[in-house]
Structure 1
């Protein structure tokens, strides 16, 4: 099931829930882009964790919904392994995800609980793209971009230890996309830009160039 969601809270083991990041996750039928940014002074952001990868459902019809998330691109080298989460719907409609994963703050595998809230999305095209090269400097090593409804999100690896990540929204009555949150080197702000809907929509496997980047279409469908 495809969705755009934000995280309400995170809890480790039996500790109190908290939220210290601004999170936007776009999940397609197979791939996802997950952006988690922390606000720092002067309204800037830094990357807490940004990733893109594959989501696989593991449960049968009789089991609680369970999925495996396998990152293809991640900003945290210590969090490269797949993790699995089990999902349930709370009374208010939010989604509770529970499982085990490495806590990067302690270096230990711990139980986690995350509460997610789906965001309303406009009907239209959905696409998830993998950036596989650039024609102009500065270059990227890898990039992923997802668009669903009135939201876009992207993460890119610029060099071995440099990344950028952003989220963007389409505001009714205004042309183009507003990048609402950006984290990364200042001189990298224009390397990866939001992409407008094509007409007609690309097919999976299509290669095209936009803003100096060659993109491979991983998913594309209409809602």
Structure 2
């Protein structure tokens, strides 16, 4: 992948918190705001990602953006703290397609997501965590690494010819023998 050889890899201690998984949302009612719960499948703060309780009320703003308010265990202190986050919806750039690729085995869990011209992933192997973000730069140049923290090596062929024609069920093996499987593919209307 272009850019990987020259991209400086930052320290894993620079990760505040990274995770990947799924979310479910209960719609707003007359007396309650929209409520979203995130199920962590891989988490930078713990190898037991499923133990993390992560949920909050989503207050929609007139702009269409949202403010999430909730409480959860602060991974730095171990105590329950209130939090507030801002969410801004953006239009993806590039091709109107995306996919989700998941890996599990050999003591590792990883997820790599592509939406349009961006992709990012997290890989946890025991206590080691790596995160990467890529940007599609077009033409022969392909994909460029724009953030790399720790070791998040994925099969190079993901960013090759299969990148735009990937199908659910396609499998890839990285340099360490870890198998990655495409679990979702979608086309957007953005």
* TM-score interval, smaller chain: 0.7 to 0.9
Contact 2:71 2:83 in 1 (8 A): yes
Q: Which runs of 5+ in 1 are unaligned?
A: 1-41, 134-138
More strand by percentage = 1
Aligned to 1:58: 26
Say if 2:137 and 2:143, in contact at 8 Å, map to a contact too.
yes
Q: Quick check: 1:142 aligned with 2:109?
A: yes
Shift in Å at residue 115 of structure 1?
0.9
Distance 2:65 2:136 in 1: 24
Tell me if structure 2 keeps the 8 A contact 1:86–1:98.
Answer: yes
What is the aligned partner in structure 2 of residue 132 from structure 1? 104
1:127: how far off?
Answer: 0.8
RMSD, matched Cα:
2.8
Please give the alpha-carbon distance, in whole angstroms, between the structure 2 residues aligned to 1:198 and 1:178. 14
Once residues 39 and 86 of structure 2 are traced to their aligned partners in structure 1, the CA distance between those partners, rounded to angstroms, is 20
Structure 2 match to 1:88: 59
TM-score (norm 1): 0.65
For residues 117-140 of structure 1, the C-alpha deviation after alignment (integer angstroms, 9 at most, x for no partner) is 23331342211111135xxxxx76
Q: In 2, are the aligned partners of 1:140 and 1:156 still within 8 Å (CA)?
A: no
Conservation of the 8 A alpha-carbon contact between 1:132 and 1:216: no
Q: Which runs of 5+ in 2 are unaligned?
A: 1-7
Q: Do residues 218 (structure 1) and 183 (structure 2) align?
A: yes
Structure 1 counterpart of 2:121, from 125, 137, 154:
154
Alignment deviations for residues 157-183 of structure 1 (CA, whole Å, 9 cap, x no partner) = 12x211111111112456221111111
Aligned twin of 2:77: 106
Q: Deviations over 1:179-209 (max 9, x none)?
A: 111111xxx46x2256235454413xx1411
How far apart, CA to CA, are the structure 2 residues paired with 1:60 and 1:95? 13
TM-score by length of 2: 0.75
State how far apart, in whole Å, the 1-side matches of 2:67 and 2:110 are: 29
Aligned to 1:16: none
Aligned to 1:171: 137
